[in-house]
Structure 1
Amino acid sequence: MKPTPHTAAVLALCAALFGGATACTAEDTAKADKVGVAETLPTDTDKKQSKKQAEDFRSWVKEHGTTQQKAAVLRVDRIIGEWNEHTGNAYISTDINGGKTEVKDPQAAVDAIVKAFSGWKDSDQGYVSVYDVFGNAMVTNQQF
């Protein structure tokens, strides 16, 4: 078979596509943008702290939340991130779409978690994102 410009172009395109596909990693897609939006759950660098934050959140909601919020926050596993009264980002890991029991209305549960978090922590420019059991974003960048 004699090489032609068309064959060479097809081979170059295939090489570029194959090379580009292998250069992309899951870690690349998990990085947050300027306001903290991450489509997949960021890496938990302090599991002890994120578990404690989730426990504190569930305790607060148990005392101050609505019935729907109390049920929803039982799905919260970890809260990753840092925030204060002025700014910050919180990434909430849940067992929604997995876990021992099914969530009948996942979006309602996520909305209840976000609303409860907004009541628990108040910030001028803070954002909360909620992720399902697989680490995929269900809601991102909701101000609290």
Structure 2
Amino acid sequence: MKRTPHTAAFLALGAVLLFGTAACTDSAPEADAVGVVEKLPEDTDSAQSEKNAAEFRAWAEKNGNAEEKDAVGRVQRILGEWDSKTGNAYVSTDINGGKSEVKDPQGAANTIAEAFAEWKDSDQGYVSVYDVFGNAMITNHKF
């Protein structure tokens, strides 16, 4: 007889959690039109993404200040498509796992996003920066 109250309480708690979670998800805000990508998308053209990164690093080496050169030097691949009007870029870096430690990982990610905005100008473009593990550090920074 002792098990019946415990079992009933357990089942009731499970039902509350199940229906309570469903109720919470119904009221959650929807993603905006651009959307936030928390994990680095799959690289379907590694040759192109590495070429994009090399061009970005070369631009920073020529045009950037010391902070930009250092931060952009951590860029390994740039995925996505963009043109003069719109697009999304996903920047893969070695932040939090490269050959040398980054003292301010978030600052480096911000610098990369700002440098990308200087490098590529667009009416409606967005850049997101990811660490070495593919986790988003900066999302939807307008460039």
* TM bin (shorter chain): 0.7 to 0.9
Mapped partners of 2:124, 2:5: distance in 1 = 56
State the distance in 2 between where 1:4 and 1:137 align. 47
TM-score normalised according to structure 2 size: 0.79
Structure 1 unmatched ranges of 5 or more: 18-31
Q: How does 1:60-139 map to 2 (within 5 A)?
A: 60-139=59-138
Computing the radius of gyration over CA atoms, which structure comes out larger, 1 or 2?
A: 2
Question: Does the 8 Å contact 1:91/1:131 carry over to 2?
Answer: yes
CA deviations over 1:69-119 (Å, ceiling 9, x no partner):
001011101001000111000000000011110001112211111111011
SS of 2:115's partner is helix
2:51 counterpart SS class? helix
- The one-letter code of the counterpart of 1:118 is A
Moved more, 80-89 or 34-43: 34-43
**Cα distance in 2 between the residues matched to 1:135 and 1:83:** 20
Q: Which amino acid aligns with 2:7?
A: T
Residue in structure 2 matched with residue 44 of structure 1 by the alignment: 43
Unpaired stretches in structure 2, ≥5 consecutive residues: 19-30
Q: Which amino acid aligns with 1:50?
A: S
**Cα RMSD between the aligned structures?**
2.4
Counterpart residue type for residue 7 of structure 1 = T
